[in-house]
């Protein structure tokens, strides 16, 4: 069933975009579709695909692996080098050798976000990245986004309710909510 219609945007290197809209409007669906995890009913998505890195609200952390092992795994999987300052950047220096299972929710979230600094993707698709982060960690994450990612020509599409203090353009999805009688979707054949 169609969720959103008429959504269109174009981002140049160094640009970010914040997605807004009530719960259930389709922010996650939009991000997952751009990431290639589900097909769009119609329309085109260009430039993401192999260049995109996706982060959902689940961090995919394995309790049995340490913080350093977790980040090393993602670096190996993406065939990138582990940036030297990634632990400092996300305030994980003291936690390096802690099993991820012993981290608090906020610490785990920082580890999940640190993955984004490791995988070296130009287009970051972030679904509620700041959930369970304290104000200080939000500032650090905003610093990473602005001074480590966007400034180097990266692109970010962020679904979030809070203000990251980055002064990014906002796309409100509310007007794009698919009309009730919108065409498309697998149920349509049966109506």
**186 forms part of the interface with other proteins (CB under 8 A):** yes
Of 96, 130, 105, 103, whose CA–CA distance to 116 is shortest?
130
Alpha carbons 12 and 89: distance in angstroms, whole number: 25
Residues 88-117, mask of contacts with other proteins (x by CB under 8 A):
---------------------------x--
Among 4, 19, 30, 61, binds other proteins (CB under 8 A): 61
Question: Strand, coil or helix: what is 91?
Answer: coil
CB of 59 to other proteins, least distance (A): 6
Interhelix angle 67-77/105-119, nearest 10 degrees: 30
> Phi and psi of 100, rounded to 5°?
-60, -25
**59 forms part of the interface with other proteins (CB under 8 A):** yes
Q: How many residues bind other proteins (CB under 8 A)?
A: 37
**176 forms part of the interface with other proteins (CB under 8 A):** no
The CB density around residue 115, as the number of other CB atoms within 10 Å, is: 21
CB of 120 to other proteins, least distance (A): 10
Alpha carbons 152 and 150: distance in angstroms, whole number: 5
What is the sign, positive or negative, of the torsion defined by CA atoms of 57, 62, 65, 70? negative
**11 forms part of the interface with other proteins (CB under 8 A):** no
CB of 131 to other proteins, least distance (A): 13
Among 38, 102, 104, 183, binds other proteins (CB under 8 A): 38
Q: Which residues bind other proteins (CB under 8 A)?
A: 1, 32, 35-39, 50, 52-65, 69, 73, 76-79, 115, 119, 180, 186-191
């Amino acid at each position: 069933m169609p969720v959103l219609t008429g959504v269109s945007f174009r981002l140049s290197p160094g640009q970010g975009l914040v997605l807004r809209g009530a719960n259930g409007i389709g922010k996650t669906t939009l991000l997952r579709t751009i990431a290639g995890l589900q097909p769009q009913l119609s329309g085109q998505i260009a430039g993401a695909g192999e260049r995109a890195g996706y982060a959902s609200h689940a961090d995919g952390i394995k309790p049995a692996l340490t913080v350093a092992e977790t980040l090393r795994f993602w670096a190996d999987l993406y065939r990138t080098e582990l940036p030297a300052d990634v632990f400092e950047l996300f305030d994980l220096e003291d936690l390096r050798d802690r099993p991820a299972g012993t981290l608090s929710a906020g610490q785990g979230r920082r580890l999940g976000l640190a993955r984004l600094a490791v995988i070296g993707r130009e287009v970051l698709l972030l679904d509620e990245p700041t959930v369970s982060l304290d104000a200080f960690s939000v500032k650090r994450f905003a610093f990473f986004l602005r001074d480590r990612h966007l400034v180097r020509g990266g692109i970010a599409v962020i679904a979030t309710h809070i203000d990251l203090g980055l002064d990014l353009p906002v796309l409100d999805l509310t007007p794009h909510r698919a009309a009730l009688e919108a065409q498309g979707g697998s149920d349509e054949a049966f109506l």
